[in-house]
Amino acid sequence: MTVLNGVNGMSVDEKPDSPMYVYESTVHCTNILLGLNDQRKKDILCDVTLIVERKEFRAHRAVLAACSEYFWQALVGQTKNDLVVSLPEEVQKFGLFVWWLMTDRKLAE
pLDDT digits (tens, 9 = 90+) for 45-101: 999 998 887 888 899 999 989 988 888 998 988 888 888 988 776 666 666 666 666
End-to-end CA distance of the chain: 40
Left (φ > 0), alpha (ψ -120 to 50) or beta: where does 12 sit? Answer: alpha
pLDDT digits (tens, 9 = 90+) for 10-42: 555 666 677 778 888 889 988 998 899 899 999
Task: Look up the pTM and report it.
Answer: 0.64
For domain 2-103, which CATH number applies: 3.10.129.10, 3.30.710.10, 3.30.450.20, 3.30.70.20? 3.30.710.10
State the Cα–Cα distance between residues 61 and 43, nearest whole angstrom.
13
Residue 14, SS3 per DSSP: coil
pLDDT of residue 33: 87
State the Cα–Cα distance between residues 60 and 89, nearest whole angstrom.
21
Amino acid identity at 66: A
Let me know: does 84 contact 91? Beta carbons within 8 Å: no
